[in-house]
Structure 1
């Protein structure tokens, strides 16, 4: 895997770029982020990324200045992709003068970025094959080459001979993902995983086609004849393997199993289908085993969670109701499973929740960086790889945010429902509406509407209407003003609409009401 550093001063641009695509399928892994050129310069020296994707305009040190300094001051020389929101040819000219690999306009298109990464991966592959070092075993380079291309018969024969594997046998590629809730590479599971696999397949001391991927994943190519020796269906065999691996590695593991290829040289097709299984990680009922033969016919859901569920969650957070927002989260996670949300759709849903919560905090003049769980949830994809883990970190963040919002609202004392009611009582004759009042009191309009009804037993619109009609009745009794004048004085822009609402509430027209009151005198 080739390391990528993302550099942009907007955090959601960086996170959006990271979640835009499956980087590992293009031979890349995100090794770090920086919010300005100065910070990036330090990280390039520390992390030695192979590729840097950098915004052209940033504070402190912009993209082009960063590239100049790297070329002049840093021993390690990565490749660069420039991002820009400015389709100015002069920028592009300047960028290519520094031998930048590509210049991509924002918003970044996934297909364009994928195409660029493929070209860069080919360049890096050629450099690596020309200078193989001990840092990356030859067997890993062979595996990654098999997964990227279909070698010639002559090359395949040499590979099979060197690895002591049958050329004409069927093969399956699967991904073992370590779900230990730790960043990639914190623990090196490779030796123990390899030993466990050798023992399970009864090939102690013999080489395995296994390589290290991103996100705590290991890719394995298995000859079908090894599975056939188990004398049981493939799913059962993989279930036993999973149980053994989890016991011996003492952690949670998931297996993503591709279609079986009829020949070693076609293993890339099995690899692609195993990659596609990763997109079903949030589907229901898989028990840690995700098989292409079972899953890839199921349509994935690529959209956001329903607006009703999202609004319900935000309301319960604002109300600081633990049972309420826990139930809303459970409903959202059930939707993830039952509707087969794609990984990208889950990411978008989580991001939408966070943006809504952060906006509420900022409206209350709070600072989202005060939340200890913010950074953990921002980077959840780096550590949390199944529904149970994601639900835990999300719930921790929401619980903390709900209490923080309640505290900030209490400090400002602007969100009290009594003050809202007093404001309505004083301004009902004006053109007031729920959304505007919510903004005035730094509250979510859905939350305010439901809170108002909970406290006073009526909806906001009903209460405003009742105030206006009562005032209209007083004016009809005590003055000789015309109907359109009365309507305007109590907040109605249209006299006919006023008359209709009056009749709806009083079961008589304004004129009938005035005549009846005059007759009583």
Structure 2
């Protein structure tokens, strides 16, 4: 809604204009009235108004003087519509010098008022869209230069870091809920709006703020002030931004070395990674986290977990993990070191129990690539360890020879259906990883190869004993795609299905 201020000294005229049309229907909100120019000017200095409709002849301050004062004193200038009679047209022409280009003649006509307002609304909305696009373009240019500084250490003049009289603080937080944003432009518009809002709120504190956005979904805020004692105001602003963007935490510190913004950025990123991994929240000064240890001394961790798995002491495994992470937090081990150590430990466990199929699962990839918090990270590790424990349990539960004969019989009865090692495992209530390992050991080949060989053998029999078409045979043995069937057939037999059939026919005729 565009906000309108109506300035008219005659009460009945003022009330008549207000009731003349449905203002909200046309996108306007008649927020306030004034009986003269002086009252109107005081309102404009306190409130944001989009449109002023003013009479020319009024006591205290007339319309011409009001328009002049608006052009000189009001920063966010509203559009102005003057109300004039035929004998006041010379006054109306004088108002043009101050940027007025809309006027209404008395008595005011409903249709003319609506047309004027629609024209003004179109102009204002177009101007706003132009300003929005221009501001966004300038922000994108500025953010692009900033990215090149922090990520590639390029020398760009985003901030005047040569000015030794300016104190600077940098805060970094991470936006976890990426669905909150539709795209990068929405991200930038949101940050631009927050930048404007925080600067407006803290303008009287002598602090200026710039918001940036890096390639890793981190929000970087640079605060500049000429006064060292503005730290409290800076922290308050960081809290405001943190709440606006729904960030878990923001790590900040004073930026003193004007030649190394790139290094300072990476220093804060490490601190932020630590804070988020250990689920710290709020505004955190970097020195509260301290320096990191660069390695983990515990060399028995893997063997102790292996022993607990063999003894089926699942609760103790989780307690061991929790204890390990608590020790890491006390010693300030960085999340990157922890992730690497845990991956090596899991590989040690996988190698010990020979469960190499786990390497193909998504669990290890999530641990390796993710920035999960400690509690979720422990959950993922436990999921993998539980899979290992289940494998050990099932390896003692099933007799390999008799069990695999049942599996073989099931496959031969269902080879032409859409079966997988997982679906067979579900049929026999067994872990698919363990079944895959048992299958390979028993048949000396992986399940997929065995299934193809079985299907191709059946296809060879049908080619010899029937006159069915190739696509019919393909479908009958379990291949919906005839081309794929032909490809696998040639891979196993050395010739295409049609050539194989022809060669058999020639041998019979001979």
Range of TM-score over shorter length = 0.3 to 0.5
Larger Rg: 2
Calculate the TM-score normalised by the size of structure 2.
0.41
TM-score scaled by length of structure 1: 0.41
Which structure has more RCO (C-alpha within 8 Å, separation ≥ 6)?
A: 1
Higher helix share: 2
